[in-house]
């Protein structure tokens, strides 16, 4: 399973997601520009001593990720759809895509992938969830569906 962060801005969120990847075996894909340096102390602190367990890939654009993983299932997490994340049948090689904290995923990505857009249900007055919380919710549902491979 793969977690793709498109232009993440907050180092602590990315660090928490890296820790999630370390605990679950998911690979982390970071699409630039990043809103922080990968040497950022908050990023390192959030990941604590798990960094050696994380496989991280860096890309200049989302189109690089799409090209490299053509033929795989991509699921785009957004508040701009009605399809709940639980309605999808995940597989072990899927890519779960999340946008930046302040704006979500770019419209051009969402517009060209409407059928694969999913959301976490929440109250109408809530704008969004924290990025690392959202990633954990979706990742664990996807892993549950595929039987928690290699997890005990």
Give the residue numbers of the binding site for S-adenosyl-L-methionine.
99, 120, 128
Q: Among 74, 69, 129, 125, which residue's Cα sits nearest to residue 101?
A: 129
CB 87 within 8 A of CB 57: no
Binding residues, as ranges, are 99, 120, 128
Q: In angstroms, rounded to a whole number, what is the distance separating the alpha carbons of residues 109 and 117? A: 10
Q: At what angle do helices 11-24 and 131-145 cross, to 10 degrees?
A: 20
């Amino acid at each position: 399973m793969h977690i793709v962060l498109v232009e993440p801005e907050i180092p602590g969120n990315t660090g928490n997601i890296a820790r999630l990847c370390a605990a679950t075996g998911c690979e982390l894909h970071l699409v630039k520009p990043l809103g922080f340096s990968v040497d950022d102390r908050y990023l390192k602190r959030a990941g604590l001593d798990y960094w050696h367990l994380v496989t991280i890939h860096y890309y200049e654009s989302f189109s690089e990720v799409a090209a490299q993983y053509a033929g795989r299932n991509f699921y785009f997490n957004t508040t701009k759809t009605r399809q709940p994340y639980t309605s999808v049948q995940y597989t072990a090689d899927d890519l779960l895509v999340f946008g930046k904290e302040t704006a979500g995923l770019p419209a051009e990505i969402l517009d060209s992938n409407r059928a694969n857009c999913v959301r976490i249900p929440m109250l109408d007055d809530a704008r969004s969830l924290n990025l690392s919380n959202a990633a954990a919710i979706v990742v664990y549902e996807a892993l549950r569906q595929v039987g928690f491979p290699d997890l005990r």
